[in-house]
Amino acid sequence: MAQHIRVVAYQADWEEAYQREKKVWETILGSELLQIYHIGSTAVPGLWAKPIIDMMPVVKRIDRVDVFQPEIEAAGYECMGEFGIPKRRYFRKGGDQRTHQVHVFDAENQADIIRHLAVRDYLRTHEEVREAYGSLKRKLAERFPNSIENYCDGKDAFVKKMEQDALSWYASEGSKENG
């Protein structure tokens, strides 16, 4: 069954959903966990988004995460391995009605960690980009409600440019503002 693409206005309860699931991951990963972040569109107040909570745990060693697979599956997650990004572990929850996506990175993988944080913080502080991105996502979801491939392809150029702008901003401004 094809996933129906739904983009909705920002919902304050997304932060609460993140906090609840953060506790689950803290329990599972224990002392292997260094930090966990709410990332993606649901972490940006005011941004239209697919209602899927993205989380980014940062761990001491990525290879140790595989040991926790039984507990992660028991918490309702599908284990997807690296899923296209080396040295990442990707998990999703909810099947076709996905509710959560978890991107686990090794602490040494600063490039991917910073990329996610830079985009999140850039969107939080740049209203015009946030509005343009939300508008694009709404239009694509209306145009391609049953094609995640077309939806993603339609965002690709915008996201690549935004990511570069976000990384430049983060290197000079964002990391100072957001600790």
pLDDT in tens, 120-176: 999 999 999 999 999 999 999 999 999 999 999 999 999 999 999 999 999 998 655
Look at phi and psi of residue 66 and say left if phi exceeds 0, alpha if psi is from -120 to 50, else beta: alpha
Q: Which helix (H) or strand (E) holds 141?
A: helix 127-143
Structure tokens at 43: 């972490």
* Residue partners of 156: CB distance under 8 A and separation at least 6: none
Provide the percentage of residues in the chain whose pLDDT is more than 70. Answer: 95
Domains annotated for the chain, with CATH where assigned, are: 13-172 (3.30.460.10)
- The residues, ordered by sequence, that sit 6+ positions from 117 with a Cβ below 8 Å of its Cβ are 37, 39, 170, 178
First-to-last CA distance in the chain?
Answer: 43
Cβ–Cβ contacts within 10 Å for residue 174, how many?
A: 23
Local confidence band at 97 (pLDDT 50, 70, 90 cut-offs): confident
Determine the pLDDT at residue 175: 57
Taking only the tens place, the pLDDT of each residue in 17-50 is: 999 999 999 999 999 999 999 999 999 999 999 9
pTM to 2 decimal places: 0.92
